[in-house]
Structure 1
C-alpha cells in the first residue's frame, strides 16, 4: 500500500468514530420510541381504550416507522449513489433529531383527541424514512474507509452504534422512569418521560459536528473519477443485476433483526408483567445487555475478517435457532438474576453471533456505484420483516399469557431460513472490485 499511512489511519479513525456516534444518535432517537411504546404511549395516546388494545395500537404505530424505512433507504440510497454518502448522512441525522424533539413536545389524546395518534404516525413515518437512509450510509462510510482485510470490522463499528443508541435510550428512560412524575394522568400534559426525547437535541448537535469533519468515501470518489457513477437509476440495477443478492440479503438479515426488535421493544413489558422485576430494573437489564452488545458485534465481525462471512453467520444462525429456547426459559423463571442473564444471552451472544458481520456481508454484494441503494434495500426490507413485525407477532403468539413455545418455534424456523440464505450466498471476504483495488493501492488522506 502506498502513500500516507498515518494520514489514512487518521481519516479512517474519524470515519469510524463519526459513523459510530452518528448511528448511536440516530438509534437513540428511533429506539426511544420503541422503549416508550410499551410503557408510556398506550396511556398517553389511547387513554380511553382497553390496555391490550392500546398496547397493540402503539406497536402498530411502531411498525409504521419500520414500514417507512425501505422508502427512506431507496430515497437516500438513490442520491447517496449519485452524490455521495456524506451529505445524505448529515440530512438523516438532522431530520431524526427534529422528529424526536417534536415527539417530546407532543400533547396526548386528552388534549387534542384523535389528532394526537395521527400526528404521532406522521412523525414516526418521517423518522423511519430518516433511519432508512442512515444505516447503510454510516456502515458504508466506515467500511469504505477501511483497508482490505479489515472491512468487516470497519463496517461493524457503525453497526455497533445501534446498540449504543439503545444503551443511551434505555439508560436515560430507565433513570427517568423511577421518578414519580414519569407517567402522570393522561390529562396532565407534562411528565418526565418527555425529557429523554428532548435531550436528543444535544447529542444531535454533537453528531452533526462529527459528520462535518470526515471526507467523502474514497471508494465512491474513485468510482466517480473513473466514470462509474452514472446518471442511471440505481434501483433498476437491483432488479437487472443484483436480484439474487437483494433477495438473499433480505432473508439473511430478517432473523437476527427479529431477535433485536423483540428484545428492544417486547421483552421489557413482558418481564415486567411477570411481576418478578419492576420497569426500571428491566430497563437496566436491557441496558447492560446492549452495552455488552457494543463489543460483541465488532468481535463477531473481526472473526469474519479471518474466517469468512459465511462460516461465522451460519454458525450464528445455528447457535441462535437452538439458544433462543434457553433465552425464553430464563425469561420465564421469574428470577431477577436469570431474567438479566436472558437479556445477555439474547443480545451479545445470540444476536451478535449472526449480526456482527452483516454490514460487510451486505456491502460486499454490490459495486460502489450501487452499494448505498443495495445495502439500504436489503437491510431495510430485512428490518421490516424482522424488527418491525417482532413485537406484533410476539404479542399475537403470547398475548397476555406466559407460554412462549409458539414464538420460539417461529423464531427457530426464521433463523433456519436466514442461515440457508447465507449458505446460498457467495463468500465475499477476499472479493474486491477494480475500484476498491485502485483505492487500496492509492490511499491518500
Structure 2
C-alpha cells in the first residue's frame, strides 16, 4: 500500500469516529448541567439527572438495531456506501439538538424532540463503528493490522478533546447565564461543519479489498444476521463481554466525573473540562503506539494487562477524587483514561475483526460492540448516579461495579479461541 492511499484510508476511518464521539461527548457533558434542568424538568434533581442520563443510555439501546440494519447493508452492499449514510445521520441529528427550544418554551415537546434526536444518533452510530473499523483493518497489511485498527479508536478521544475544548471555550467566553441560554448550543451546531468536511473524504474512497473478494467469490450469506447468530453466536457473546471494560470505565472517567466533580465535590465545570481534555490528548497519543505494540506482542496480552489494571484501580480512582483537589482529579483521570484504558481500546477493534470471518465481519463486530455498549456503556453514568444516591452518596458500590465489569471482560477474552495474532 502506498503512503497516499494509507493516509486516505486512515483519514476516512478516523473522521467519522471523531465526529461520532464529539457528538456523543457534547450530550454527555451537559446532561446533568443543562438537559436535566432545561429539558427533563422535575421537582427532584436526582430524578432529573437520571432521566438526562437515560437520554444518554437510550441511544445505546437503539444502537444494536441501527447496527443490525447497517451491518446487513455493509456485508451485502459494501462498507463505503454504509459509512456515508451513517455520517449524515449522526451529523443532522446533532445539529438538530442544538436547535431544539427548551421545556419552558415548547413544553413536553422539548424532551420528546431531544430523545428523538438521540434515537436517530443511535441508529447512525450503531453502524458507524463497525464500518470505520473494517475500512481500516481490511485495507491494512497483515503486519500493520493492529496499528490500522487503533486509528479509528483514536476518534473516541479526539471527539472527547473537541467536545471538552468546545465547552471550555464557551464557558470561558460566556457568563453562566449566557452559557445556559445559548452557549451550550453552539458546539452542537458546529458539528455540521465537521460532517461537511468528512463527507467528501469517505465519498471518494473505494471499497475494501476484502469486501471486493467476497463480492467476487459470491460467499456473502443472504441474511448475515441469521448466519452470524447461527454459526458465530459464541463470538458475539465473547466480544460483547470484552466490550464491558472498554466502555463503562470510559464513561465514568470521561462523563460521570463531570457531574460528580461539579455537583458533589464542588469543583468548577471549566476546570473539569480542561482535565478531561488534557487526559484525552495524552490518550490520543498513546492509542496508536499501543496499536503498533500489539502487532509485536499480540492483542490479548495488552488487553488483559489493561483490564487487570482497571480492576485494581477502581477504589484508588474514587479515593483520589474524594481529595477534592483539581490536581488529584487530573492525576486520577490520567491514570484511568490515559495509562490504563488506552491499551484496552487500542486493541479492541482489531481483536474483534480477527474473531469473525470476512463474510459476516461487519455484522459480527457490530453486534458484539453495540450489545456490549448497550449493556455496560450508556448505562454506566446512570447506574453510578443511582448507586451513589441509593447508598448515601458513597463511592464504594460504584467502585465494586467497575470491578465486576472488569472481571466479566477478563473472563470473556480468556475464552477467545487462541489464534496466533491474538496471543
Which bin holds the TM-score, normalised by the shorter protein? over 0.9
Q: Which string of whole-angstrom CA distances, capped at 9 and with x for unpartnered residues, describes residues 361-399 of structure 1? A: 111111112111111100001111121110111001113
Partner residue of 2:397? 406
Which shows bigger deviation, 10-19 or 333-342? 10-19
1:250 paired to 2:226: no
Q: CA contact under 8 A between 1:18 and 1:207: conserved in structure 2? A: yes
Q: Which string of whole-angstrom CA distances, capped at 9 and with x for unpartnered residues, describes residues 124-147 of structure 1? A: 111011011101100110111110
Residue number among 189, 193, 197 corresponding to 1:198 in the alignment: 189
Number of corresponding residues: 421
Q: CA contact under 8 A between 1:152 and 1:357: conserved in structure 2? A: yes
Partner residue of 1:270? 260
* TM-score calculated relative to the size of structure 2: 0.95
Name the CA distance, whole Å, in 2 between partners of 1:308 and 1:275: 40
Q: CA contact under 8 A between 1:77 and 1:133: conserved in structure 2? A: yes
Partner residue of 2:148? 154
1:350 paired to 2:340: yes
Secondary structure at 2:207 match in 1: coil
Q: CA contact under 8 A between 2:314 and 2:400: conserved in structure 1? A: no
1:339 paired to 2:329: yes
Displacement, 1:10?
2.4
Displacement, 1:428?
3.8
1:341-420, aligned counterparts within 5 Å? 341-399=331-389, 402-420=393-411
Partner residue of 2:88? 94
Name the CA distance, whole Å, in 2 between partners of 1:399 and 1:169: 28
Q: CA contact under 8 A between 1:82 and 1:369: conserved in structure 2? A: no
Name the CA distance, whole Å, in 2 between partners of 1:32 and 1:390: 17
Displacement, 1:302?
2.0
Gaps of 5+ in 1: 432-445
Partner residue of 2:170? 176
1:41 paired to 2:32: no
Change (3 A) 1:183 1:43: farther
Q: Which string of whole-angstrom CA distances, capped at 9 and with x for unpartnered residues, describes residues 44-101 of structure 1? A: 1134532211111101111111111111111100000001001111111111111111
**Would you tell me which structure has more helix in proportion to its own residues?**
2
Displacement, 1:28?
0.9
Displacement, 1:166?
1.1
Name the CA distance, whole Å, in 2 between partners of 1:89 and 1:339: 37
Q: CA contact under 8 A between 1:23 and 1:162: conserved in structure 2? A: yes
Q: Which string of whole-angstrom CA distances, capped at 9 and with x for unpartnered residues, describes residues 193-213 of structure 1? A: 110001011111011121123
1:62 paired to 2:56: yes
Q: CA contact under 8 A between 1:156 and 1:356: conserved in structure 2? A: yes
Name the CA distance, whole Å, in 2 between partners of 1:252 and 1:48: 37
Name the CA distance, whole Å, in 1 between partners of 2:176 and 2:77: 44
Name the CA distance, whole Å, in 1 between partners of 2:274 and 2:4: 35
Change (3 A) 1:185 1:151: closer
Partner residue of 1:300? 290
Partner residue of 1:443? none
* TM-score calculated relative to the size of structure 1: 0.91
Q: CA contact under 8 A between 1:256 and 1:386: conserved in structure 2? A: no
Q: CA contact under 8 A between 2:280 and 2:337: conserved in structure 1? A: yes
Name the CA distance, whole Å, in 2 between partners of 1:324 and 1:70: 28
Runs (4+) off by over 6 Å = none
Partner residue of 1:436? none
Name the CA distance, whole Å, in 2 between partners of 1:392 and 1:131: 20
Change (3 A) 1:297 1:183: farther
